[in-house]
Amino acid sequence: MKIDFSQRNFKWLTQTTVSNPAGEVWTFYPSTELHAKHSLDPSSSEAELYRGYTLNDGNTLKTEREIKNWMAGGEDAVAHCVTKVSEVIRDATGALSAETVRSKLGSLGIHAQTIEVAMERLIADRFLTQDDTALLTKNGAW
């Protein structure tokens, strides 16, 4: 059975090349859905654990989550960034633009790719909401 990658919210629909903060490069293509829970919201970050990509060596399978963590500098870097996002929003007096949050995190020395992966995950899991004017607000408890 052929998978419609766009319908299942795969981030990358064709062969793609990405790098990480160390300058290393991976090229991969979407290839499979790993025992997906059909009741799982395909826009949630948990769905990243079930979307599979094959690296260009033709043998190595990585999940979308693994690729995003690698692009961000590792799982620990993402977790650190999520903590800093929480602190920035907690310390704010009102809603912040996404650009303001990115700028504050960048001034802390956090790599831009790490910021994007962390914020994308927080928005996907609805910890942050992003409206049409790109305002970020805390949605519920951290």
Tell me: do 63 and 90 sit in the same domain.
Answer: no
> CA neighbours within 13 Å on the CB side: how many for 138?
15
| C-alpha distance from residue 56 to each of 23, 30, 59, 101 (Å) | 17, 11, 8, 35
pLDDT computed for residue 76 by the predictor: 96
Residue 93 domain boundaries: 75-138
In the chain, what percentage of residues exceed pLDDT 90? Answer: 45
Specify if 128 maps to a domain.
Answer: yes
Q: Which residue has the higher pLDDT, 9 or 78?
A: 78
Specify if 7 maps to a domain.
Answer: no
Tell me: do 132 and 93 sit in the same domain.
Answer: yes
Q: Which residue has the higher pLDDT, 110 or 100?
A: 110
For residues 30 and 35, what is the distance between their CA atoms, to the nearest angstrom? Answer: 15
Angle at 67 between CA 8 and CA 63, to 5 degrees: 50
For residues 120 and 98, what is the distance between their CA atoms, to the nearest angstrom? Answer: 11
Any residues with CB less than 8 A from the CB of 76 and at least 6 apart, and which?
Answer: none
Determine whether 10 is exposed, middle or buried from the number of CB atoms within 10 Å of its CB (0-12, 13-18, 19+). Answer: buried
Tell me: do 87 and 133 sit in the same domain.
Answer: yes
Specify if 111 maps to a domain.
Answer: yes
pLDDT computed for residue 79 by the predictor: 94
Residue 130 confidence class, pLDDT cut points 50, 70, 90: low
Specify if 49 maps to a domain.
Answer: yes
Q: Which of 31-35, 76-80, 114-118, 129-133 has the lowest mean pLDDT?
A: 129-133
Specify if 45 maps to a domain.
Answer: yes
Query: For the segment 57-100, what is each residue's pLDDT rounded down to a tens digit?
Result: 888 999 999 999 999 999 999 999 999 988 888 888 777 788 88
Q: Is the pTM of this model over 0.85?
A: no
> How many folded domains does the chain comprise?
2
Domain boundary among 71, 94, 112: 71
Tell me: do 107 and 134 sit in the same domain.
Answer: yes
For residues 138 and 142, what is the distance between their CA atoms, to the nearest angstrom? Answer: 8
13 pLDDT higher than 50: yes
pLDDT computed for residue 132 by the predictor: 44
pLDDT computed for residue 47 by the predictor: 81
